[in-house]
A and B are shown apart, each in its own frame.
Chain A
Amino acid sequence: MGSRASTLLRDEELEEIKKETGFSHSQITRLYSRFTSLDKGENGTLSREDFQRIPELAINPLGDRIINAFFPEGEDQVNFRGFMRTLAHFRPIEDNEKSKDVNGPEPLNSRSNKLHFAFRLYDLDKDDKISRDELLQVLRMMVGVNISDEQLGSIADRTIQEADQDGDSAISFTEFVKMDNH
């Protein structure tokens, strides 16, 4: 028989994840069920193939990049902690959190961290800048074969022109945030 979710996830681990990500007890248990059901190899970690097995993710134009976001630098497996940490970026902000302590560590799902996540989808070489090439790559993934290279190039150029403020022909994180705000 398959592994039983609640017995394999130790209480201390659950508490730690709860503190770090802000998910509730029941949410974490359900997500652990989900994690184990995706883990076909039953070794406590997910590989890229495990993610690819989800049809709705496999047909997503940015599927590969999203999957990449789960894996730490240079690694091929992600454990449950890492899985939860990435998902925590998109946990809906609850009302009781809005009045929380402003001086505490920034919650994982703040607007700024969500923007970081999106920025990293573009910035493949992690140099904190979105170059023209990186922008083109993501654009190409989203449009497939339906737009010509020249047209795509001009879209990229125009976007960089609008966002770039320090004249380095690349988009930094601050410029990225500014673009999002209007």
Chain B
Amino acid sequence: MDGAELAGQILYTWLTLVLGLILLPSAFGVSLGISEIYMKILVKTLEWATLRIETGVAKQSVLKNSASVGIIQRDESPMEKGLSGLRGRDFELSDVFYFSKKGLEAIVEDEVTQRFSSEELVSWNLLTRTNVNFQYVSPRLTMVWVLGVIVRYCVLLPLRLTLAVIGISLFVIGTTLVGQLPRNRLKNFLSEVVHLTCCRICVRALSGTIHYHNRQYRPQKGGICVANHTSPIDVLILTTDGCYTMVGQVHGGLMGIIQRSMVKACPHIWFERSEMKDRHLVIRRLKEHIALKEELPILIFPEGTCINNTSVMMFKKGSFEIGGTIHPVAIKYNPRFGDAFWNSSKYNIVSYLLRVMTSWAIVCDVWYMPPMTREEGEDAVQFANRVKSAIAVQGGLTELPWDGGLKRAKVKDTFKEEQQKNYSKMIVGNGSLKSELD
């Protein structure tokens, strides 16, 4: 056989294998167990690697091996204690020490900027990109790493790309076909089938292993689902287990095609860029949607931007003003197998997807939580914070009051003014009295 025929044969066998082993089972929601075997081998390899690294490093200087412990011991005491004062104490020249200490602590390590870059791993997971401080340990480890590179780039990547392409094409074709039907129950059923099948294929394309917990609390029709946001993959992970109505901006290019075809099969809410600025318009459309109780639940990410999955940042109150039942969902990725965080200032969407597809796997836990509604006398902001705390506790994430928008924007001056006010109260508390006595 000459070259072209050989290539054709290989392609043919390849596609048949993919179809038989992956696509068909996905369509029926069945798993053949291949990915489970892969994961088991992977976990064993990584554990072996960790052991080797620890024995290797013990011989050299001890490396700080807990990434969550900072370089310095931060003094979390509030201003009153930090300035060792009671109310109404006088100003002292050394007061300036308190502020400079806090300032330097923030320079060395602050709570906010670290959330906008990938989490540091406790132990290396054999990916070049996470190799920050790990020095050469042993030849065997290096060999395993080389093997890993070959497996990831030459075996897994082509497989995943094939699946992704098939998944997306099937989705676009499927939804367009389903979109031809009139709006009736058959259409809804078929739309769900197409959605779920293609999502499962795409999840396989990322070697995703997802554990869903508390499925009895899955978001119901007419409700709003809120979740913490780490990457665009969050959407994929949630829609593999149920259909949602998406909310978002209209995009161009490939995303735009996907958006337009999705809308044909079931109603989603896409906004033009200009409309997004009009908050009232957005809220009104969302309200109209949930008023029709048989519509699919709306999926919203109240943080507004991708955070690195170690913490939950401020929830924007807009989603909590719509009314209706909120179904919180916590999503936590396991960083050992691959970094799911999309650092949009560093990577564009294509390089991000390539990085994800050349990781080991995407492993995550999804916790569905009992529905919450706004209580009497609670305003949108308090409600948002309550939901945020619940999600943070469930997912084991730190809770931060800071706005995710700080990724790009400057912090508001009101925070500084608050500190100044507190300090003023301290040194002048009984100050008016004092100046009279002088």
Contact = CB atoms under 8 A, between A and B. Distances in A.
A5 interface: yes
Q: State which size class the interface on A falls in.
A: 35 or more
A60 B93 contact: no
B102 A60 contact: yes
A113 interface: no
B117 A60 contact: no
A93 interface: no
Nearest to B355: A1
A55 B406 contact: yes
Contacts of A151: 428, 431, 435
Nearest to A30: B71
Given A29-B133, A34-B108, A90-B104, A55 B416 contact: no
A51 B423 CA distance: 23
B131 A4 contact: yes
A155 B427 contact: yes
A143 B71 contact: no
Contacts of A144: 416-417, 420-421, 424
Interface residues of B, number: 55
Given A142-B95, A180-B94, A61 B110 contact: no
A54 B419 contact: no
In this complex, the member of B135, B411, B425 whose beta carbon has the largest number of chain A beta carbons within 10 angstroms is: B411
Interface string B97-137: 10111111011111111100100000000000101110100
A171 B93 contact: yes
Contacts of B417: 144-145
A31 B104 CA distance: 12
A128 B110 CA distance: 32
B110 A55 contact: yes
A2 B99 contact: no
Contact of A59 (B93, B104, B419, B424): B419
Contacts of A59: 411, 415-416, 419
A114 B98 CA distance: 12
B90 interface: yes
B102 A143 contact: no
Contacts of B415: 55, 59
B405 to A, nearest CB: 11
Interface in B407-438: 410-411, 415-417, 419-421, 423-425, 427-428, 431, 435, 438
Interface in A1-37: 1-2, 4-6, 25-27, 29-31, 33-34, 37
Given A53-B113, A151-B435, A180 B93 contact: yes
A56 B96 contact: no
A179 to B, nearest CB: 5
Interface string A132-170: 000000110011111100010011001100010000000
Interface in B71-94: 71-73, 90-94
Contacts of A92: 72-73
Given A60-B102, A63-B103, A31 B108 contact: yes
A147 B112 contact: no
A9 B132 CA distance: 12
Interface string A59-102: 11111001000000000000000000001001010000000000
B293 interface: no
A118 B98 CA distance: 10
A1 B129 contact: yes
Given A58-B411, A60-B416, A66 B104 contact: yes
Given A26-B61, A31-B71, A118 B416 contact: no
Contacts of A55: 110, 112-113, 402, 406, 411, 415
B346 interface: yes
Interface of B: 61-64, 71-73, 90-97, 99-104, 106-114, 117, 129, 131-133, 135, 346, 402, 406, 410-411, 415-417, 419-421, 423-425, 427-428, 431, 435, 438
10 contacts: A31-B71, A54-B112, A55-B406, A58-B411, A118-B97, A142-B420, A144-B424, A154-B435, A154-B438, A159-B93
